[in-house]
Homo-oligomer: A and B are copies of this chain.
Amino acid sequence: MALIVHKYGGTSMGSTDRIRNVAKRVAKWARAGHQMVVVPSAMSGETNRLLGLAKELAPPRQTASYERELDMLASTGEQASSALLAIALQAEGIESVSYAGWQVPIRTDSAYTKARIESIEDARVRADLDAGKVVIVTGFQGTDALGNITTLGRGGSDTSAVAVAAAMKAQECLIYTDVDGVYTTDPRVVPEARRLNTVSFEEMLEMASMGSKVLQIRSVEFAGKYRVPLRVLSSFTPWDIDIALEAQSGTLITFEEDEHMEQAVVSGIAFNRDEAKISVLGVPDRPGIAYQILGSIADANIDVDVIIQNLSKDGKTDFSFTVNRGDFAKAVDLLRSQVMPGLGAHEVVGDTKICKVSIVGIGMRSHVGIASKMFRVLAEEGINIQMISTSEIKTSVVIDEKYMELAVRALHKAFDLDQTPI
């Protein structure tokens, strides 16, 4: 009685038995009268297998021509799983058709391996839905203006699903995954971590961007932009669970702050050990320095996260920032060979053994003293803080990687996240 988008991750699509279970679940929703669009990922392991083959053959220098072929290659994983799901639905007696990104079409820019969706044509999908079919749309991929295949980057199927839901004005987008919702922190680190029934869009954005790897961050941005109601739930509940119960399970990502929301000040603890710290020491303290340093980094397509500039002393300052660990060597090389000579800076030092821990909560807006409580808790555990970064609804610290679990557990307890809110 509504248009619903389901998205299934690679683990949920990992074998023919699992694909059959996905088909049974989707068939249940279709039989309940819903118009269904389903966005599956590639079968688990498939994308890695394909990219592994490419890596064995890769040229020394990775050009746009190479990245174009990577997208031709990687996009086949989702096309295959989509066809298999359509077949499994037909076996359930449900009329079903699958479309590759270019067939919808899902238009993107030409940034191979990390393209962005520009538009989705909904006419073909809508015609099939009106004819009573379940439509499978391949995740992760699209096509640029010249008809080249593009992919959206790791986790891109989440973004595909949200974008399709937005274009089709779906009532809800359900992201089925191997966890049963969004937690106060990673239960593997803190066993007392608690599932949130709802989480605000802004909190989700901060959590996703900081390593709670439930959803690709771009999908959350997309959901926010188009106000797509998004629910994260488990694909490992039995497929024949009561549909009303299923529709209320997991974690709903909301856009309104209202009385139904959980009122905790801090909603979750995010952490990320994929970053590395770089410091440029003895930089002359004059206008344009940040641009000179970070501009060259950005030109090399390296994302920068936390940025700190210390007070200057004797007309010199230190400038620190974090990058993805995979970009660390490239960034240091670039600074040493190209930036420092023109800058008159003294030294570039780096540290890959760091992690970032953040407290996130929409309640932080209206509560003072939350950040200082965080610093006190870490001090009590003897953990030295290397960098601090704050925003309206989060406070992040960079610390030695070896203290990560300790910090997360201590903060989780200190902010009462193991207690169900009243």
Contact = CB atoms under 8 A, between A and B. Distances in A.
Contacts of A68: 97
A84 B88 CA distance: 29
A365 to B, nearest CB: 48
A159 to B, nearest CB: 21
A18 to B, nearest CB: 11
Interface in A54-82: 54, 56-60, 63, 65-66, 68-70, 72-73, 75-77, 79-80, 82
A72 B66 contact: no
A80 B16 contact: no
- Report the copy number of this chain in the oligomer: 2
Interface in A79-99: 79-80, 82-84, 86-88, 90-91, 93, 95-98
B86 A76 contact: no
A54 B103 contact: no
A408 interface: no
B83 A65 contact: no
Given A58-B87, A84-B73, A65 B97 contact: yes
Contacts of A65: 86, 90, 95-97
Interface in A92-140: 93, 95-98, 100, 102-103
Contacts of A148: 103
Contacts of A96: 65
A238 interface: no
A315 B70 CA distance: 69
Contacts of A84: 53-54, 57, 69, 73
Contacts of A87: 54, 57-59, 66, 69-70, 73
Given A56-B16, A58-B91, A87-B58, A72 B79 contact: yes
8 contacts: A20-B57, A59-B93, A72-B79, A72-B80, A72-B98, A73-B80, A76-B76, A79-B79
